[in-house]
Amino acid sequence: MILIRSAQIVDGTGAPPFQADVLLNDDRIAAIGSFPQKRADLVVNGLGHHLTPGFIDINSNSDHQLTLFNHPDQKDFLLQGVTTVIGGMCGSSLAPLLYGSLESFQKWTDINKTSVNWQTTEELFQFLSRRRLGVNFGTLVGHSTIRRALIGGVNRDLTDKELTVFKELLAAALTAGALGLSFGLGYLHSRDTPYHEIKELAETVKNGLLAIHLRDDGRGVASAAREVLALNREIKISALVSHFQPILGEEDNYERGLELLSGAQNIHFDIYPFAVRLLPIYLLLPRWAQRGDLRQMYLDILEPHFQKQVLAELPKFKKGDLRIMEVPGAPHINQAEIEGGGRGLLKAMLMSQLRALVACRDINEKLLAAAIDHPLALIASNDGSPPKIRANTFLRYLTMTRLPLPAAIRKITALPAEKLGLKNRGLVKENYTADLTLFDDNKKIQAVFVSGQPAVLRGDYQNIYAGQIIKRG
């Protein structure tokens, strides 16, 4: 039994803080009140500190970067107050795998780093439960993961039979506890997915979450937003637009897209409080040059005439604003800064054979600061643990936001829990799961509890693996 004494409780509802003791028993919040005579196995002094629900990262990359396996402690998340991370976003998930391949992850990391010992979503959850995690983990089903397993790397419509098989696989994953379905429509292998396919699959999801990386987050962002609105209108599904960031040069389009989304029911977007994006380098090619697969695009840009056309349209970055973060199998060029404008970018594309993951600083910071406080915005790291470029996302958010603390906390606790349909999570409330974060006025983490276990105490990581698998319903 654990007793947290005299904390200022920000319960996740948006209500004003109140001072109380909180008693934890096993993995539950047993009681909230005043217990001056109560004894416990561990007493934590909460006086002068804020006690909140554990933060929920609704768009994490710990699965895409495979750090769930080589860093199962997920220490970096715990040390910023995050107790639950959600994966399977942008069309790529760890399951279901028809043939045991993680090929839809290869844009983010070296997929040869992990041995796959599962195929179905249920088998994945069993595997992770045996392995034990420091944080709670839930996942959506990745559209591209199944689609590429069914038809390979070709870009074509699914046949009726293939679509039927897809829906059966999706339904089985949802029954096993997957939280919904995600689309990576901005990526090469999903960009030409027809609307009717998206709609049919979304209808299978029913009460789950539909997460969509828009087909275009630049010039065509408003048009891409209309597609989400059409889905929302036709099938009344709960939707999340993934990492909806205001890109430099596309501010008017972004604001129009935001205006469109604001007029819909049950649509939110996730956003990170950083001006840096993490992208597969091929996405910086002109849209017309993004065709075929990576090898085809690489062969194209080897041609001098093609190079000249591409070079004329490559984005220009200032010194220090573009960096190679990772090239699978080529660690000697990781963390290399790309210089020389378009020519430097083209050289990096050739050197990495278009397999690089790059960090680019191209987000309008003024619009970003306003967008994180938008009523539809949910905060996400879109990174893993250890992070590649966005460390301490949630503490940064709490220092940047202009919202009152109760409203800011609701945005990273109860609101994502509601969006995901999580039961008994996201609030400081009796009989709810004891995922809790304690921090001081300087936004410094003092303690974190996962399933009632002290994962962080006095600001120090405790090497506790108490994470649970978060399942639908």
The Cα-based distances of 270 to 7, 73, 97, 378 in angstroms read 30, 24, 27, 5
pLDDT at 207 (0 to 100): 87
**Same domain flag for 330 and 369:** no
pLDDT at 324 (0 to 100): 93
Q: In whole angstroms, what is the distance from residue 400 CA to residue 390 CA?
A: 14
Domain boundary among 333, 360, 387: 360
Nearest to 468 by CA among 453, 446, 447, 448: 453
The residue range of the domain holding 318 is: 279-360
CATH number of the domain within which 178 lies: 3.20.20.140
**Same domain flag for 379 and 353:** no
**Same domain flag for 221 and 335:** no
**Same domain flag for 39 and 115:** no
Residue for token pair 């009681």 = 31
Q: Is the pLDDT of residue 199 over 90?
A: yes
Structure tokens at 454: 């002290």
- Evaluated on CA atoms 279, 281, 287, 292, the torsion sign reads negative
- Report yes or no on 473 lying in a domain: no
Question: What pLDDT, in 10s, does the model give residues 422-456?
Answer: 999 999 999 999 999 999 999 999 999 999 999 99
**Same domain flag for 162 and 80:** yes
Q: Is the pLDDT of residue 317 over 80?
A: yes
Q: In whole angstroms, what is the distance from residue 368 CA to residue 3 CA?
A: 39
pLDDT at 331 (0 to 100): 72
pLDDT over 90, % of the chain: 85
pLDDT at 104 (0 to 100): 81
Q: What is the value of pTM for the model shown? A: 0.96
- Evaluated on CA atoms 251, 253, 259, 265, the torsion sign reads negative
Nearest to 466 by CA among 433, 444, 426, 430: 433
- Report yes or no on 18 lying in a domain: yes
Q: What is the DSSP string of 200-224?
A: HHHHHHTTSEEEEE-S-SSTTHHHH
Instruction: Name the pLDDT band for 395 (thresholds 50, 70, 90).
Output: very high
Q: In whole angstroms, what is the distance from residue 185 CA to residue 144 CA?
A: 9
pLDDT at 112 (0 to 100): 80
Q: In whole angstroms, what is the distance from residue 433 CA to residue 450 CA?
A: 8
Q: What's phi and psi for 21, nearest 5 deg? A: -90, 150
**Same domain flag for 299 and 337:** yes
CATH number of the domain within which 450 lies: 2.30.40.10
The Cα-based distances of 295 to 3, 132, 263 in angstroms read 58, 38, 42
Q: In whole angstroms, what is the distance from residue 205 CA to residue 199 CA?
A: 10
**Same domain flag for 347 and 205:** no
Q: Phi-psi region for residue 198, left (φ > 0), alpha (ψ -120 to 50) or beta?
A: alpha
55 by DSSP, 3-state: which? Answer: strand
DSSP-derived letter for residue 341 is H
Structure tokens at 141: 């089903």
**Same domain flag for 266 and 230:** yes
Question: What pLDDT, in 10s, does the model give residues 67-92?
Answer: 999 999 999 999 999 999 999 999 99
Domain boundary among 345, 360, 375: 360
Mean pLDDT, residues 122-142 taken together? 96
- Report yes or no on 468 lying in a domain: no
274 by DSSP, 3-state: which? Answer: coil
Inter-axis angle of helices 160-176 and 195-205, nearest 10: 30
Q: Is the pLDDT of residue 187 over 80?
A: yes
Domain boundary among 334, 360, 386: 360
Q: What is the 3-state secondary structure (H, E, C) of 82-133?
A: EEEEEECCCCCCCCCCCCCCCHHHCCCCCHHHCCCCCCCHHHHHHHHHHHCC
pLDDT at 332 (0 to 100): 72
For 421-440, letters b (16+ CB in 10 Å) and e give ebeebbbbbeebbbbbbbbe
Cβ–Cβ < 8 Å for 471, 86: no
For the chain, the maximum distance between any two Cα atoms, rounded to a whole number of angstroms, is: 81
Q: Is the pLDDT of residue 103 over 90?
A: no
406 by DSSP, 3-state: which? Answer: helix
Q: In whole angstroms, what is the distance from residue 450 CA to residue 436 CA?
A: 7
pLDDT at 231 (0 to 100): 93
26 by DSSP, 3-state: which? Answer: coil
Cβ–Cβ < 8 Å for 16, 406: yes
| Amino acid letter, residue 350 | L
